[in-house]
Structures are given as structure tokens and as C-alpha cells.
Amino acid sequence: MARLTLATTTPGQPEIFASIQGEGASMGQAVAFVRLSRCNLACTWCDTAYTWHFDSQYSGDDTAHRDGEVFDRKANQITLEVADIAARIAKLGQKRLVITGGEPLLQAPPLADLVEQLSDLVPDMAFEIETNGTVPVPPRLDIRLDQFNVSPKLAHSGNASELALIPEQLAFYAADRRAFFKFVIATPDDVEEVLAIQRRYAIAGHRIYLMPEGVDADILTQRSKWLVDACIAHGLAYSNRQHIYLFGDSRGT
């Protein structure tokens, strides 16, 4: 039986829940979420480090998380059969699923099984996937997806550019109209880096969302004040982190 490794909300409880999408092109929509564990990058400001920062031998660039916290793998991971996961998601009663992580595409084959089973259980369900844009999408999964939320990691993430910004993958998503790009922004220098990526891959401005970095509402508000001006100046879209304002920095929201 196909199995997926998920993050947990509390030990033994998979992070599967209904909420609103807090970021990007679908912000505000009612959705179901499933959060997968494991990542191939290591962002210093990652707000879901419990999906990958288990010990000093984690995957990705050898970058320390700024909080310095190391998570217990057993308490923060759970592996379930795909059929079980599909039934839990269907029970939430939503018509759109956001697949997030971690980096979900690291588990693409069983993830394709999940999407296929959910398509049978909920025939009109739409699927969007959140990815860092470094991992290829196999055709069996690609044909089932309605939206890509691609979040390439800029220099301030702490990842080496050769790991985080892979030209063939960025070109793939730039050419796919289902893909929206969401960049985490902490300083004006980050905006300049986004503009260079936009020029190189000829990405239309309405497909690029700039989102302030932070897990505190006050910090997000402060950064949003100048970030909105940058979006207006360069014809880009702005994304808030609405779930932080509504629920705080908590799992399962």
C-alpha cells in the first residue's frame, strides 16, 4: 500500500485540517490542507522547521535555523496509508486541497496516488500544491494539479543559489500558466533579486506575489507598508499572511 509521511499537529495527529488559504493567489478561499514532512532545502527563517529540522544531518544546504530548535522526528512525523489520508481529507467537506510541506514533491509517487483517490472520492475537488520550485513534477501528478504555488528561495533564506534556484525548473514553471510565484521578502534588496528573476524568465507581474517574511503580526504589518509600495512601483501582486493575523503562528491553521 502507498504511504505518505506527514507533519503532525501534536504527536500522532497528522496535520490535515480545513481553514482558509492565507497566502498567494488563492488567499481567502476555504480549503483543506495536508502538510507533508521532509524538505530538500533549509531556510533560516522557515516557519515549518518541524517538517525537516530533526538533527544536524537534515537534507539541503548546511544551514542552521535561526531559532536553533531541533525537533524530535518521532513526535513531528507520521506515516499513513494514502487511503487513510484521502478519507480524512474527504471528510473535511472542502472542494479545494492545498498540498504543502516541507517540500511535497519529494513524495511525488504516493502523492499522485492520493490525488487520484481524492478525485474519485470528491469528483469536483481542485488541487493546488506549494513547492520551492526545485523538484520536477512527474506527469502522473502534473495532469491532476490545478495550481502551483512556487516559492523560490532568495539569498536571505541561507540556501546556496545552485540548490535553491534551478534554471530548468524555474523555466518550467514560468512557462506554465497554472503557476504563481510567491517570494518571501524581508528587505528591499530581496525585491531587486525578484526583479532579476522576473526579467530572466519573462514572468508576468500578475503571476508574482511579494509576501513579507515573519511570524508576528506587527512585523508583517511593518514590512507590508513598504512592500505594498514596491508592488505598485513594479506591477507585482501583494500577498499578506492572513492566517498569522487570524490564528497566530500555530499548526493546523
Domain ranges for the chain: 3-182
Q: Return d(Cα 47, Cα 147) in angstroms, integer.
A: 22
Which three cell numbers mark 172?
A: 518550467
Closest by alpha carbon to 158, among 6, 39, 245, 24? 39
pLDDT in tens, 158-178: 999 999 999 999 999 999 999
Relative to beta strand 16-20, strand 30-35 is: antiparallel
The pair phi, psi for residue 173, each rounded to 5°, is -70, -35
**pLDDT, tens digit (0-9, with 9 covering 90-100), for 92-123:** 999 999 999 999 999 999 999 999 999 999 99
Residue 112 DSSP one-character state: H
Match 519529494 to its residue by C-alpha cell. 106
Per-residue pLDDT of 188-245, as tens digits, reads 999 999 999 999 999 999 999 999 999 999 999 999 999 999 999 999 999 999 999 9
Domain 3-182 = CATH 3.20.20.70: yes
The amino acid occupying position 219 is: I
